[in-house]
A and B are shown apart, each in its own frame.
Chain A
Amino acid sequence: MEQTGKMEGAEKRNSLTQSKWAKNMALIRKDWQLYTLLIIPIIYLLIFKYLPMAGNIIAFRKFVPGGSIFGEEWVGFYYINMFINDPTFWRVFSNTLILGGLTLLITFPMPIIFALLLNEVKAKRFKKFVQTASYLPHFLSIVIVAGMVLQLTAINGSINTLVEFFTGDKINFIQQADWFRTIYITSEVWQGMGWGAILYLAALTTIDESLYEAARIDGANRWKQTLYITLPGMLPTIVVLLVLNIGSFMAVGFEKILLLYNPLNYETADVISTYLYRIGLESNNFSYATAIGLFESIIGLILVLSANFISKKLTETSLW
Chain B
Amino acid sequence: MSTIAQANTKHEAKRKNSAFSKLGYGVLYAILGLIAVLQIYPLIWLFFFSLKDNQEVFNESPFSLPTDPKWENYTRVWTDGNIGLYFFNSIWITVTAVVMTVLLASFVTFAITRMKWKLSKPVLGLFMVGLMIPVHSTLIPLFDFFLKLNLIDHPLSVVLTYTAFNLPLTIMILLGFYYTLPKEVEEAAIMDGCSIHRLFFQVTLPMTLPVVSTTAIINMIYNWNEFVFINTFISSDQYKTLTVGIQNFIGQYMTEWGAIGATLMISIIPILIAFLFLSNRIVEGIAAGSVKG
- Chain A residues within 8 Å of B, Cβ to Cβ: 31, 33-34, 36-38, 40-42, 44-45, 47-53, 55-56, 65-66, 69, 114, 117-118, 120-121, 123, 126, 129-137, 139-144, 147-148, 150-152, 156-159, 161-162, 190, 193-194, 198-199, 201-203, 205-206, 221-222, 237, 244, 247-248, 251, 254-255, 258-259, 273, 276-277, 280-281, 286, 289-290, 293, 296-297, 300, 304
Contact of A37 with B111 in the complex, beta carbons under 8 Å? yes
Contact of B39 with A137 in the complex, beta carbons under 8 Å? yes
Contact of B62 with A161 in the complex, beta carbons under 8 Å? yes
Tell me the interface secondary structure of chain B in the complex.
helix
Q: CB-CB < 8 A to B173: which residues of A?
A: none
Contact of A142 with B58 in the complex, beta carbons under 8 Å? no
Q: CB-CB < 8 A to A126: which residues of B?
A: 29, 32-33
Q: How far apart are the CA atoms of A73 and B69 in the complex, in Å?
A: 63
Q: CB-CB < 8 A to B243: which residues of A?
A: 141-143
Q: Which 10 pairs between the two chains have the least Cβ-Cβ distance?
A: A158-B62, A48-B164, A141-B225, A202-B287, A52-B141, A55-B141, A33-B196, A52-B138, A133-B36, A251-B134
Q: CB-CB < 8 A to B196: which residues of A?
A: 33-34, 37
Q: CB-CB < 8 A to B144: which residues of A?
A: 55, 65, 69, 286
- Give B178 Cβ to nearest chain A Cβ, in Å: 13
Tell me the interface secondary structure of chain A in the complex.
helix
When the two chains form the complex, which single residue of B138, B232, B260, B283 contacts A281, counting CB atoms closer than 8 Å?
B232
Contact of A69 with B148 in the complex, beta carbons under 8 Å? yes
- Give B159 Cβ to nearest chain A Cβ, in Å: 12
* New A-B pairs, 6, CB < 8 Å, besides A136-B275, A290-B141: A41-B167, A47-B145, A69-B148, A136-B43, A159-B62, A206-B291
B74 within 8 A of A: no
- Give B254 Cβ to nearest chain A Cβ, in Å: 9
Q: How far apart are the CA atoms of A42 and B126 in the complex, in Å?
A: 9
| A–B pairs, 20, beta carbons within 8 Å | A31-B117, A34-B111, A45-B126, A45-B167, A66-B147, A130-B35, A133-B36, A139-B221, A139-B271, A140-B268, A141-B267, A142-B227, A144-B246, A147-B264, A156-B57, A158-B45, A199-B287, A276-B140, A290-B140, A297-B134
